[in-house]
């Protein structure tokens, strides 16, 4: 990876030199006099050499340039505008995502409150499991232990189903009882 960085830096230097040659060529053309024809040809030759150096520096490098940047350059606009606009779009999306996350947190809070009212025992079991998991996570992160496989007691899935004799009712009526089954969570097959 280090050699690719060096090659990219060489390409950047070659591009800067080519741009400098373009600038000098432009100045020579702007101040052109017939007596400066040899200087003009020298500047053109120098520019062509720099372009060859750019091509040689770019060989084997896979650099992706967004089409929008190329369009901005073609329009004569500053390509830094793309970066600014891209960051602004990212910030907008970040704010939208943060709003969704906050909405889900609020929904979760309302659901927990309603669960607490309808099923106080199950809600307490959930809170105990959540607290134990948070304590364990904090303990593992503070001790920086080696990764070890989880056994069945640490990796469980909670499955909540109403008993067969109770129907789920819509509207203002609530479910009268619910059973909780704790089953070992199966490991994914690789």
pLDDT band at 89 (very low <50, low <70, confident <90, very high): very high
Hey, what are 11's tokens? 């390409």
Read off the pLDDT band of 157 (50, 70, 90).
Answer: very low
Closest residue by Cα to residue 10 from 47, 50, 57: 57
Most confident among 3-12, 15-24, 114-123 (mean pLDDT): 15-24
Average pLDDT, the chain: 77
pLDDT-derived band at 18, boundaries 50, 70, 90:
very high
Q: Which letter does DSSP use for residue 155 in this model?
A: S
Q: How confident is the model at residue 167 (pLDDT cuts 50, 70, 90)?
A: very low
Q: Choose among 166, 187, 164: nearest CA to 177.
A: 166
Average of per-residue pLDDT across 93-107: 94
- Of the two residues 67 and 103, the one the predictor is more confident about is 103
Q: Give the model's pLDDT for residue 105.
A: 93
Are the CB atoms for 158 and 123 separated by under 8 Å?
Answer: no
User: How many residues in the chain?
Assistant: 190
Q: Which helix (H) or strand (E) element contains residue 26?
A: helix 2-30
């Amino acid at each position: 990876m280090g050699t690719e960085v060096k090659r990219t830096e060489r390409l950047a230097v070659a591009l800067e030199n080519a741009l400098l040659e373009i600038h000098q060529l432009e100045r020579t053309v702007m101040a052109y006099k017939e007596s400066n024809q040899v200087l003009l040809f020298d500047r053109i030759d120098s520019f062509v050499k720099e372009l060859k150096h750019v091509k040689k520096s770019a060989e084997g490098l896979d650099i992706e340039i967004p089409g929008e940047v190329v369009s901005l350059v073609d329009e004569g606009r500053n390509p830094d505008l793309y970066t600014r606009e891209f960051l602004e779009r990212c910030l907008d999306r970040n704010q939208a995502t943060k709003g969704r996350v906050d909405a889900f947190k609020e929904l979760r809070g309302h659901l927990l409150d309603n669960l607490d009212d309808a099923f106080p025992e199950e809600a307490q079991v959930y809170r105990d499991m959540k607290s134990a998991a948070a304590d364990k996570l904090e303990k593992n992160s503070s001790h920086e232990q080696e990764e070890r496989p989880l056994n069945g007691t640490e990796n469980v899935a909670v499955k909540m189903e109403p008993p067969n004799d109770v129907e789920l009712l819509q509207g203002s009526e609530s479910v009268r009882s619910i059973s909780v089954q704790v089953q070992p969570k199966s490991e994914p097959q690789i």
